[in-house]
Structure 1
Amino acid sequence: MGENQKFARAMDELDMSQPELVRRLNDEIGELTGREGRLTTRDVRRYLKGETRWPHAKQRIPIERVFGRPATDLGFVPRSKKAQEAPPEDSVHRRTFVTATTGTVVGAVAGAGSRTRLGLSDVERYGDEYAKIIAQDKALGGAQKVENAAVELAMRIQSDLGGSRASARTRTKLYCLASNVTCSAAFAAIDAQARTRARGHLDKAVTLAGLSGDSETQYHVWNHLSMVAVQRHDFAEVAAAADAARSQSIAKNDPLYASLAHMRRANALAGAGDRPGSLRALAAAERSFDRRAELERPPWIGFYDQAEFDGLSSLVWLKLGEPDRAESHLHRALTAIRPELVRNRTYYSAHLALSQATQGDLELACSTGDRTAAMLGRIRSKRTSETLVKVQKIVAATGSKEPGVRAGLERARTWI
């Protein structure tokens, strides 16, 4: 393991100090992920000494963007034999443009770290990775590993888009994928109640969706923005995001999308205390849902079936102060939820306990909470755990001396 002289020469060519390189790399990471990077000069020294032979994609892609050339041209050695044997690209696709006054890179290199030309096979390859992330999300909830996997995949797609040629059709599909994957990162953050991270991901997704020009992709972003706004209790923004989703052509042409947008609006209006408006939106959601057809749709919206319709309806009824109606919907939802939707089952089980506690069925609420806590041990969902905290507080606030309730409250202290 020797010193990486190519990397050292590249820094010299740009007259870049280690602290300056760290700042530039962290800025690139922030631009790509919505979160400021955390690299230090120690990381740069590891590059220079050759201790880091092939940086992780989260570091490698920003390095390529800063220097305007592939990582292999900077002295890094891929772990993959296939990558090592890849033919060099024509130098015309690897030019770096540097400003005369500051020495900063102002134009990235075409082809850095990617193929010369992208095609539909690349779209399919990235699409397969995206499907795995969605499957992980269903099973694990808002786990950091799901969010990180989505961020990394989005970064790789964007790197390919910035450094390769592609047809307009392929480019559109990749922008759609990058936006949808970034939405998956946002949803993992939403489930973890990390609202700032979620909003940062969605700010990036908005741009990618706009570049795609695709109505369904833009709908996806607005749907997630409405969920972040719910967590902030900004019900005006929830309604605005739901309206933006409903204005997309996909919602005008497909009743399922229209239904979900109406449901988000019903939730917002219920939270704002507008009972008549919320009930109108809920009725519109039901009418649209009943008109849905069995069509092939993107994988992210596969969650919105009859069980989810009942689950989301229950949240509206809880906000409207009718926990008995909420409980009825929750029982239907939990009966019909598909086995693979583990996170959803846990989430609605917690709300079933909440509806029971709100009605004064304290022992039953504690029993439901016990079952939910057992499921929660297998997934990460702060949304769910915070719902169980609400159940604990309701039961404790009653001051009940009933033996069954007191025993249930003792068990409840072990839920989280």
Structure 2
Amino acid sequence: MLHRLAAEVISSAAFASLDARAPQRARAHLDKALTFAGLSRDSEATFHVWNHMFLTSSMRENHPEAVAGAEVMKRSSIARRDPLYASLGHVRNANGLARMPARRSDALRALSDAERAFARASDQQRPEWVRFYDSSEFDALSSFVWSALGDHGRAEYCLHRTLASIPDDMIRNRALYTAHLSLAQARQGECELATATSRQAHLMLPSGSRRTVNTLAATRNVLVASGSNAPEVAEWIEESTAWI
């Protein structure tokens, strides 16, 4: 029990480091958390640590390492018992594979596996940390796969589904996924629409949300590169310079 508690506390510290865009610090925490999770012999606690390991590797753009971590997740005993965990492992795997040019077909297969597993998941009591993985989050994570594969139209579709179903009180996530929607639109050349969506994300932007700001910055870069002469696009590019 104490080993599991230690793993959970250290994992929380690791997530805070990830939110602060400090993957090296997060990895140091997670190495310790993995030791405690192993000592606890608790598959769910170990899965939790590996989920953060995946995020850390992805943030460092070490995609082979991220895929290896996702493989551990999807083959864990908790994933064999509970389709929701299996789905999360598969969708993490798909996200890592999508960023490896030679693994496109593997990414699509993993995404399909994630969808099938998610459809089999039943409502039941689960730890607080994994409750984020609902239908809105599944669609959001799927959008990242499609975006990495260059299919920004499908990414946009998934993000619309996310924003239609995300709980109203999850303002931080709504801002983040609205920013990702603007990026998907910009990458399809829909500059005016992407600008309007970026404004929406900025209006709901929570304090200290670097991930949302970074995503809006990526959208801005696409808009600048587009060379659009639309007044609203030029105005947004100028305005956003102050905080991006």
User: By how many angstroms is 1:181 displaced?
Assistant: 2.1
Residue 217 (structure 2) aligned to one of 377, 389, 396: 389
The separation in 2 between residues aligned to 1:338 and 1:182, in whole angstroms, is 28
Alignment pair present for 1:248 and 2:76: yes
Residue pairs, 1:297-376, within 5 angstroms: 297-376=126-205
Aligned partners of 2:98 and 2:148 also within 8 Å: yes
Query: Hey, what does 1:409 align to over in structure 2?
Result: 237
Structure 1: which amino acid aligns with 2:186? Answer: A
Structure 2: which amino acid aligns with 1:230? Answer: S
The separation in 2 between residues aligned to 1:197 and 1:375, in whole angstroms, is 29
The separation in 1 between residues aligned to 2:137 and 2:22, in whole angstroms, is 23
Residue 34 (structure 2) aligned to one of 188, 199, 206: 206
Q: Cα deviations across residues 329-352 of structure 1 (Å, max 9, x unaligned)? A: 001101111123222212211110
Residue 227 (structure 2) aligned to one of 379, 389, 399: 399
Residue 194 (structure 1) aligned to one of 22, 44, 58: 22
The separation in 2 between residues aligned to 1:342 and 1:205, in whole angstroms, is 29
The separation in 2 between residues aligned to 1:253 and 1:247, in whole angstroms, is 10
CA change 1:340–1:180 in 2 (3 A) is: farther
TM-score normalized with structure 2 length? 0.96
Residue 232 (structure 1) aligned to one of 44, 49, 60: 60
Q: Cα deviations across residues 377-408 of structure 1 (Å, max 9, x unaligned)? A: x2323222111111111111122222222122
Aligned partners of 1:186 and 1:197 also within 8 Å: yes
The separation in 1 between residues aligned to 2:171 and 2:85, in whole angstroms, is 23
Query: Hey, what does 2:111 align to over in structure 1?
Result: 282
Residue pairs, 1:119-138, within 5 angstroms: none
Query: Hey, what does 1:220 align to over in structure 2?
Result: 48
Q: Cα deviations across residues 41-91 of structure 1 (Å, max 9, x unaligned)? A: xxxxxxxxxxxxxxxxxxxxxxxxxxxxxxxxxxxxxxxxxxxxxxxxxxx
Structure having the higher Rg: 1
- Structure 1 or 2: larger helix share? 2
The separation in 2 between residues aligned to 1:412 and 1:367, in whole angstroms, is 13
Structure 1: which amino acid aligns with 2:162? Answer: A
Structure 2: which amino acid aligns with 1:180? Answer: E
Q: Cα deviations across residues 257-295 of structure 1 (Å, max 9, x unaligned)? A: 000000000001101122100000000000000000111
> What is the aligned residue count?
243
Query: Hey, what does 1:264 align to over in structure 2?
Result: 92
Structure 1: which amino acid aligns with 2:210? Answer: K
User: By how many angstroms is 1:415 displaced?
Assistant: 4.5
The separation in 2 between residues aligned to 1:402 and 1:345, in whole angstroms, is 27
Residue pairs, 1:54-65, within 5 angstroms: none
User: By how many angstroms is 1:235 displaced?
Assistant: 0.9
Q: Between the two proteins, what is the percent identity of the paired residues? A: 49
Structure 1: which amino acid aligns with 2:82? Answer: D
Structure 1: which amino acid aligns with 2:71? Answer: D
The separation in 2 between residues aligned to 1:182 and 1:369, in whole angstroms, is 35
Aligned partners of 1:222 and 1:244 also within 8 Å: yes
Query: Hey, what does 1:105 align to over in structure 2?
Result: none
Aligned partners of 2:195 and 2:232 also within 8 Å: no
TM-score normalized with structure 1 length? 0.57
The separation in 2 between residues aligned to 1:294 and 1:353, in whole angstroms, is 32
Aligned partners of 1:357 and 1:395 also within 8 Å: yes
Structure 2: runs of 5 or more not aligned: none
Structure 1: runs of 5 or more not aligned: 1-172
Structure 2: which amino acid aligns with 1:294? Answer: D
Aligned partners of 1:363 and 1:408 also within 8 Å: no
Query: Hey, what does 2:11 align to over in structure 1?
Result: 183
Structure 1: which amino acid aligns with 2:141? Answer: L
Q: Cα deviations across residues 19-53 of structure 1 (Å, max 9, x unaligned)? A: xxxxxxxxxxxxxxxxxxxxxxxxxxxxxxxxxxx
Provide the secondary structure at the position in 2 that maps to 1:325. helix
Aligned partners of 2:182 and 2:195 also within 8 Å: yes
Aligned partners of 1:187 and 1:198 also within 8 Å: yes
Provide the secondary structure at the position in 1 that maps to 2:98. helix
